[in-house]
Amino acid sequence: MAKVLGVPSSSSVGLLDVLPAVGTFCVALPMYVATAFPSVPGGDSGELLAEACKAKGGVAHPPGYPLYLLLLQAAFKLELFHGLTPAYIANLENALFAAVAAAAITHFVYLYTNKTNAFAAIAGGLMFAFTPLTWEYAVGAEVFALNNMLLAILFVLCAVFKRSHSISAASLGALICGLALSNQHTASTFVAGLTPYLHLVNVSETPSKGSWGNASSWMGLLRHLVREEYGTFKLSPIKPTNLTEVL
């Protein structure tokens, strides 16, 4: 993948090289926090929050989004967020994911230009950060900001590997691929990164009201993983209606 990206390779990445990314992060995060929903936004947010708030965790709609639910549960336990509602905590966590994604894009562009144009790198990261769709999903509890963050980090790791041929970068990249797949189907697979799906097996053994499906067996887990109830490559279980069908 690094070869396909065509990242120039020269020296290794140093501490000063992350300054453009830090700048992007410091601009994006305050904007996201300032515009974050104070409560539950629309879409799937309510369901995701309901499953994350269960004592033993729950199972969200296919494919389950175990990584996102686990991260929400971890955030709910942080003393830093004491006194805040679960909905607002989740929205702030999404803001963090989105800001890291923008910073990672800045860092990738900086490495791609062989560390010669910090301004272009920052501009690229901020353009991504404040496009309407990115911003929309950065301020409310949804899975897309986490997906953006994981894939942006993967691009950075590809660039680092191209420059240094680091086994650590390659291994971490493989892990990120798996973690991304346990959040969205648009990522590649790696077995170790799929371990969050064991969480679905665990909580399905003692199902609670509102949890989807039955992932307590391997077939049930596979059915949930491939979104059989929705249609594997469909965003909604509802059959779309086209003009021909209407007429």
Per-position DSSP letters for 84-139, written without gaps between them: S-HHHHHHHHHHHHHHHHHHHHHHHHHHHTTT--HHHHHHHHHHHHTSHHHHHHHS
Given pLDDT bands bounded at 50, 70 and 90, which one contains residue 175? confident
Nearest 5°: phi and psi at 167? -65, -35
State pLDDT tens for residues 75-112. Answer: 999 988 888 999 999 999 999 999 999 999 999 999 98
Among 44-48, 136-140, 177-181, top mean pLDDT goes to: 136-140
How many angstroms separate the CA atoms of 156 and 105, rounded?
7
Neighbouring C-beta atoms of residue 25, cutoff 10 Å: 22
How many angstroms separate the CA atoms of 223 and 229, rounded?
8
Residue 38 has pLDDT above 60, yes or no: yes
Give yes or no for a cis peptide into 63 (omega within 30° of 0): yes
Residue 54 has pLDDT above 70, yes or no: yes
Given pLDDT bands bounded at 50, 70 and 90, which one contains residue 203? confident
